[in-house]
Amino acid sequence: METENRQRYPGSLVSPEAKIGQNVRIGFACHIYPWAEIGDGGAVGDYCIVGHPAGGSSANGRTVIGPGSTIRSHTIVYQDVDLGRDFQTGHHALVRERTRAGINLRMGTYTTIEGHVEIGDYTRLHGYVHIGQGSRIGSFVWLYSLTTLMNDPLPPSHIELPVTVEDGVVVCVGALVMPGTVMRKGAFVCSGARAAGEIPPGAVVEGPRGEIRLHVSQMVSLESKLAHPWMRHFANAYPPEAQERLAALRDEIIAQRRRRR
Amino acid sequence: METENRQRYPGSLVSPEAKIGQNVRIGFACHIYPWAEIGDGGAVGDYCIVGHPAGGSSANGRTVIGPGSTIRSHTIVYQDVDLGRDFQTGHHALVRERTRAGINLRMGTYTTIEGHVEIGDYTRLHGYVHIGQGSRIGSFVWLYSLTTLMNDPLPPSHIELPVTVEDGVVVCVGALVMPGTVMRKGAFVCSGARAAGEIPPGAVVEGPRGEIRLHVSQMVSLESKLAHPWMRHFANAYPPEAQERLAALRDEIIAQRRRRR
Amino acid sequence: METENRQRYPGSLVSPEAKIGQNVRIGFACHIYPWAEIGDGGAVGDYCIVGHPAGGSSANGRTVIGPGSTIRSHTIVYQDVDLGRDFQTGHHALVRERTRAGINLRMGTYTTIEGHVEIGDYTRLHGYVHIGQGSRIGSFVWLYSLTTLMNDPLPPSHIELPVTVEDGVVVCVGALVMPGTVMRKGAFVCSGARAAGEIPPGAVVEGPRGEIRLHVSQMVSLESKLAHPWMRHFANAYPPEAQERLAALRDEIIAQRRRRR
Q: What is the DSSP string of chain B?
A: -HHHHHHHSTT-EE-TTSEE-TT-EE-TT-EE-TTEEE-TT-EE-TT-EEEE---GGGTT--EEE-TT-EE-TT-EEESSEEE-TT-EE-TT-EE-SSEEE-TT-EE-TT-EE-SSEEE-SS-EE-TT-EE-TT-EE-SS-EE-TT-EE---SSSSSS-----EE-TT-EE-TT-EE-TT-EE-TT-EE-TT-EE-SEEPTTEEEETTTTEEEEEGGG-B-TTT--BSSTHHHHGGGS-GGGHHHHHHHHHHHHHHHHHH-
Q: What would you report as the CA-atom Rg of chain A, rounded to the nearest whole angstrom?
A: 20
Pairing of strands B25-26, B130-131: unpaired
pLDDT of residue B3: 64
For all residues of chain A together, what is the average pLDDT?
A: 95
Peptide bond into C201 cis (omega under 30): no
Q: Which of A243-247, B255-259, C223-227 has the lowest mean pLDDT?
A: B255-259
Cβ-Cβ contacts under 8 Å for C203 (sequence gap 6 or more): C184, C187, C188, C212, C214, C215, C216
Q: How far apart are CA C120 and CA A23, in angstroms?
A: 51
Q: How far apart are CA C128 and CA C241, in angstroms?
A: 29
Query: pLDDT (tens digit, 9 = 90+) per residue, C169-222?
Result: 999 999 999 999 999 999 999 999 999 999 999 999 999 999 999 999 999 887
Q: Is C202 exposed, middle or buried (0-12, 13-18, 19+ CB in 10 A)?
A: buried
Query: How far away is chain A from the Cα of C97, in angstroms, using its nearest Cα?
Result: 23
Contact A220, A227 (CB under 8 A): yes
Whether residue A226 and residue B156 make contact (CB cut-off 8 A), yes or no, is no
Whether residue C226 and residue A157 make contact (CB cut-off 8 A), yes or no, is yes
Q: How confident is the model at residue C3 (pLDDT cuts 50, 70, 90)?
A: low
Q: What would you report as the CA-atom Rg of chain C, rounded to the nearest whole angstrom?
A: 20
Query: pLDDT (tens digit, 9 = 90+) per residue, A73-124?
Result: 999 999 999 999 999 999 999 999 999 999 999 999 999 999 999 999 999 9
pLDDT of residue B260: 59
- Burial pattern B8-40, b for ≥16 Cβ within 10 A else e, equals ebebbbbbeebbbbeebebbbbbbbbebbbbbe
Query: pLDDT (tens digit, 9 = 90+) per residue, A111-147?
Result: 999 999 999 999 999 999 999 999 999 999 999 999 9
Q: How far apart are CA B246 and CA C59, in angstroms?
A: 33
Contact A32, A26 (CB under 8 A): yes
Whether residue B191 and residue C178 make contact (CB cut-off 8 A), yes or no, is yes
- Please report, for residues B26, B63, C195, the alpha-carbon distance to residue B78 in angstroms, rounded to integers and kept in the order given: 17, 7, 39
Residue A211: is its pLDDT beyond 60?
yes
For the segment(s) C1-97, the CATH number from 3.30.530, 2.60.40, 1.10.287, 2.160.10 is: 2.160.10
Peptide bond into A229 cis (omega under 30): yes
Among candidates A148, A155, A204, which has minimal Cα distance to A173?
A148
pLDDT of residue A54: 97
Nearest Cβ partner of A156 from C28, C142, C207? C142
Q: What are the chain A neighbours of B148 within 8 Å (beta carbons)? A: 145-146, 173-174
Q: What are the chain C neighbours of A74 within 8 Å (beta carbons)? A: 47, 74, 92
For all residues of chain C together, what is the average pLDDT?
A: 95
Q: What is the DSSP letter of A38?
A: E
Q: What phi, psi does C256 have (nearest 5°)?
A: -60, -35
Q: How far apart are CA B229 and CA B251, in angstroms?
A: 9
Contact A114, A132 (CB under 8 A): yes
Peptide bond into A156 cis (omega under 30): yes
Q: What are the chain C neighbours of A194 within 8 Å (beta carbons)? A: 191-192
Nearest Cβ partner of B144 from C155, C157, C178? C155
pLDDT of residue A2: 59
Same topology, domains C1-97 and C135-261? Answer is yes
Among candidates C61, C23, C21, which has minimal Cα distance to C38?
C21
Interface residues of B toward A, Cβ cutoff 8 Å, are 13, 29, 31, 47, 49, 52, 74, 76, 92, 94, 110, 112, 128, 130, 146, 148, 150, 153-159, 174, 176, 178, 194, 208
Q: How confident is the model at residue A260 (pLDDT cuts 50, 70, 90)?
A: low
Whether residue A156 and residue C146 make contact (CB cut-off 8 A), yes or no, is no
Contact B155, A142 (CB under 8 A): yes
Q: What are the chain A neighbours of B181 within 8 Å (beta carbons)? A: none
Beta strands in C96-239 (DSSP E): 99-101, 106-107, 112-113, 117-119, 124-125, 130-131, 136-137, 142-143, 148-149, 164-165, 170-171, 176-177, 182-183, 188-189, 194-195, 198-199, 203-206, 211-215
CA angle A55, C109, C174 (to 5 degrees): 125
Q: How confident is the model at residue A223 (pLDDT cuts 50, 70, 90)?
A: confident
Q: What are the chain C neighbours of B206 within 8 Å (beta carbons)? A: none
Residue A105 DSSP SS3: coil
Nearest Cβ partner of B174 from C153, C156, C176? C176
Each residue's pLDDT, cut to its tens digit, for chain B (261 residues) gives 556 677 788 899 999 999 999 999 999 999 999 999 999 999 999 999 999 999 999 999 999 999 999 999 999 999 999 999 999 999 999 999 999 999 999 999 999 999 999 999 999 999 999 999 999 999 999 999 999 999 999 999 999 999 999 999 999 999 999 999 999 999 999 999 999 999 999 999 999 999 999 999 999 887 888 999 999 999 999 999 999 999 999 999 999 887 655
Query: pLDDT (tens digit, 9 = 90+) per residue, C105-137?
Result: 999 999 999 999 999 999 999 999 999 999 999
Peptide bond into C156 cis (omega under 30): yes
CA angle B113, B119, B124 (to 5 degrees): 75
Residue A234 DSSP SS3: helix
pTM of the complete model beyond 0.95: yes
Q: How confident is the model at residue A52 (pLDDT cuts 50, 70, 90)?
A: very high
Q: How far apart are CA C222 and CA C201, in angstroms?
A: 24
Contact B50, B69 (CB under 8 A): no
Whether residue C237 and residue A154 make contact (CB cut-off 8 A), yes or no, is no
Q: How far apart are CA C121 and CA B178, in angstroms?
A: 40
Q: How far apart are CA C182 and CA C204, in angstroms?
A: 13
For the segment(s) C135-261, the CATH number from 2.60.40.10, 3.30.470.30, 2.160.10.10, 2.40.70.10 is: 2.160.10.10
Residue B233 exposure: Cα atoms within 13 Å on the Cβ side: 18
CA dihedral C188, C194, C199, C201 (to 10 degrees): -10
Cβ-Cβ contacts under 8 Å for A180 (sequence gap 6 or more): A153, A161, A162, A163, A196, A197
pLDDT of residue A256: 86
A226, closest residue in chain B (CA to CA): B154
Ordered by start, the domain boundaries in chain B are 1-97, 121-261
Q: How far apart are CA A96 and CA B80, in angstroms?
A: 33
Q: What is the distance of C-alpha B47 from the center of its chain?
A: 21
Q: How far apart are CA A106 and CA A86, in angstroms?
A: 8
For the segment(s) B121-261, the CATH number from 2.40.30.130, 3.40.50.300, 1.20.1090.10, 2.160.10.10 is: 2.160.10.10
pLDDT of residue C260: 59
pLDDT above 70 covers a percentage of chain A that reads 97
Q: What are the chain A neighbours of C170 within 8 Å (beta carbons)? A: 155-156
